[in-house]
Structure 1
Amino acid sequence: MASQTRQRRRNLWIYAFLMPTFILYGVYTIYPIVASYWYSFVEWNGFSAEQRFVGISNYEAVLADPLFWSSVRITLLFMLVVAPLRVFGAFFLAILLNSPRLPFAKFFRTVYFLPVVTTTAIIGVVMRFILDPGAGPVAAVVGWFGLPPVDLLGDSATALVTTALVYVWKFFGITMIYWLAALQTIPQDVYDAARVDGAGGVRIFRHITLPMLLPFLLIITVLTIEDCFHAFDLMQTMTAGGPFYSTEIIEIYIYRWAFAASIPQLGFASAAAVLFGVLVLVLVALQGWATLTSQRLRSQSTEKGRA
């Protein structure tokens, strides 16, 4: 009986320490999500107390807006540029940095990971200065060669690719860490046995490393794709969706209608946010499928390795 009393007291202390987290999470995460569903069915500017129920009119207006579909297309193009570069570029870099014969491997891992821990908005502001065609370092270097200045962020043909490459550089390190962690799961005795059998580096990479990393490819790819849908802070600080909406991803589209418009339309923006959330839920479902598939492939590859 005394032990049960002590256990209950211990549980009460645990709940007491967790309560601030529950409250903050509910106020700043759960409530805004639930409220956005309600706002998507009303016409509201965010300032007045009046909220007029309009049903699915906001959804119809969003789906009929060409700029919404343009933002969807731009978001997908951004993802198609970023995801392959991060996944496969980080894979080959992780292979190099995982080699025990590479000198200063830990130093290079730290260098590549440093941009990840740097504030994204700060990187956006700094990169905007670096790429400034009038006074930035890039313009100075181009001027040394007698070439005309290039406005990479001011040209709709290059702005999206430029921001995508900066985004790849910013989060390249986290994808590299994923691959390094995956490489650590391959038993060293498998490599040793292959070398004893006379297998060279190419054959080991082709017949051992690649098959055993295949399950992780699905998870890392889905995680990277999902991460590509959260580039608001970098894109907002670098281009704010311009020029001429050429870099307006879905998040900036929502932000523009909710906060940057002359007359904010919280209901319209909430409807766009709900549709964006549906897209993210599809990715979450895809991530769950990738996790189950990778576990099955992992178990199959382990059984083949034992055989």
Structure 2
Amino acid sequence: MFLLPTVVLYGVFTVYPIIGSYWYSFLDWNGFDTVRTWIGLGNYVEILHDPQFWNSFKITVLFTVVTVPAKVILSFLAAMLLNSPRMPWRGFFRTALFLPVVTTTAIVGVVMQFIFDPASGPINLIMLKLGIVSQGINFLGSPRTALWTVGGVYVWKWFGQTLIYWLAALQTVPPDTYEAAAIDGASSIRITRHITLPLLRPFAVIITLLSLEEALHVFDLMLTMTGGGPSQSTQIMELYIYNTAFAATVPRLGYASAAAVLFGLFVCAIGVIQLVGIRTAQRARTGR
């Protein structure tokens, strides 16, 4: 009885759309007409030969491969500093780094458009003032810089979340282990290398896999900052599906559903890898 509202809402807004996507993927349907033509695997065959689909897939993978290591490694280094009792203002820096996480992503995307504006954005004004560049750089308007600009904003936006993961992991390291190593004359680098890193290896697996799956879902940030442009250089899979289903001149909901199913299977594969990685990390930590 108590679970019934949750079950109903979950079924209506999650389970039903997933089942509907699989069904629509076998139809030639624009999402509006009452006529729905059954074409079987036709959408899937067309998608597998669609260069735009593979381009979006490549951009998604490239974005993930670059941003995940940057976020995981930088947040780990920050966590090491903020976990040290000798670090002043630790509470202030933790709060400051976590604030972007609770900020609405769409608002962040809109604000970043002004910040990176080539004519009046503060980033370009500072670089012009310092003489770093002779003219403003169109960070979001150039295919060479747009994806990496959004990637930098993404790392900054979710940096605090990964930082909290690392801080929680560091709390599991027994303090007497550090004290014993310090008494034996071990330097900070040796303590980090031979004590901290081995003990945090199971957590590193989990944090990396969580960050990997999170990086596959940046639709709101990418939509508000670039909309997939310029020249589709930032059109990740989620934007490709959205544009095909709703923003195209001739919407193709069936075709977009097939793309969503394939992308969903890819995300599920990442989820399976995550599950295996978590279990492996737990076994490594318990020694079983």
Q: TM-score range by the shorter chain?
A: over 0.9
* Corresponding residue for residue 72 of structure 1: 57
2:1 corresponds to 1:20: no
Take 1:149 and 1:187, find their aligned partners in 2: how far apart are those partners? 51
Work out the CA distance in 1 between the residues paired with 2:120 and 2:184.
Answer: 60
* Paired position in structure 2 for 1:62: 47
Residue 32 of structure 2: SS of its match in structure 1?
coil
Residue 198 of structure 1 and its aligned partner are, at CA, apart by 3.1
Corresponding position of 1:127: 112
Q: Counterparts of 1:275 and 1:100 in 2: how far apart (Å)? A: 48
- For the residue of structure 2 that corresponds to 1:163, the secondary structure is helix
SS state at 1:259 partner: helix
Using structure 2 for the length normalisation, give the TM-score: 0.96
Q: CA deviation at 1:293?
A: 1.3
Query: Which of 127, 152, 171 pairs up with 1:184?
Result: 171
Shift in Å, 1:282:
0.7
The residue type paired with residue 51 of structure 2 is P
Q: For 1:205-227, what per-residue CA distance to the aligned partner results, in whole angstroms no more than 9, with x for missing partners?
A: 12111100111111111111111
Deviation at 1:195, TM superposition (A): 2.5
3-state SS of paired residue (2:3):
helix
The aligned amino acid for 2:269 is V
Give the CA deviation at 1:189: 2.0
Q: CA deviation at 1:135?
A: 2.5
Correspondence for 1:117: 102
Name segments (4+ residues, structure 1) moved above 3 Å. Answer: none
Task: Find the partner of 2:218 among 222, 225, 231.
Answer: 231
What's 1:210 paired with? 197
Structure 1 portions without partners, runs of 5+: 1-14
1:268 matched to 2:234: no
Change (3 A) 1:24 1:155: same
Alignment correspondent of 1:9: none
What is the match of residue 280 of structure 1? Answer: 267
Offset of residue 104 of structure 1: 0.8
* Residue 281 (structure 2) aligned to one of 281, 294, 306: 294
CA distance in 2, matches of 1:82, 1:57: 35
The counterpart of 1:39, out of the listed 24, 37, 44, is 24
Give the Å deviation of 1:155. Answer: 0.5
How far apart are the structure 1 equivalents of 2:148 and 2:183? 47
Residue of structure 2 equivalent to 1:95: 80
The alpha-carbon deviation at position 101 of structure 1 amounts to 1.0
Question: Does residue 1:170 correspond to 2:153, yes or no?
Answer: no
Letter in 2 for 1:161: W
CA distance in 2, matches of 1:299, 1:142: 51
Aligned AA (1:263):
V
User: 1:194 deviation in Å?
Assistant: 2.2
| Equivalent position of 2:68 in the other structure | 83
Shifted more, 190-199 versus 63-72: the winner is: 190-199
Partner of 1:199: 186
Distance 1:190 1:139, change over 3 A: closer
Stretches of structure 2 that go unaligned for 5 or more consecutive residues are none
Question: Which has the larger Rg?
Answer: 1
2:116 is aligned with 1:106: no
Structure 2 distance, partners of 1:27, 1:52, is 25
SS of the counterpart of 1:263?
Answer: coil
**What SS does structure 2 have at the residue aligned with 1:134?**
coil
Given candidates 128, 143, 154, the residue that maps to 1:156 is 143
Residue 246 (structure 1) aligns with: 233
> For the residues of structure 1 that align with 2:178 and 2:120, how far apart are their CA atoms?
53
Query: Matched residues in 2 for 1:120 and 1:200: separation?
Result: 41
CA distance in 1, matches of 2:179, 2:123: 48
1:281 Cα shift? 0.8
Alpha-carbon distance in 1 for matches of 2:270, 2:244: 25
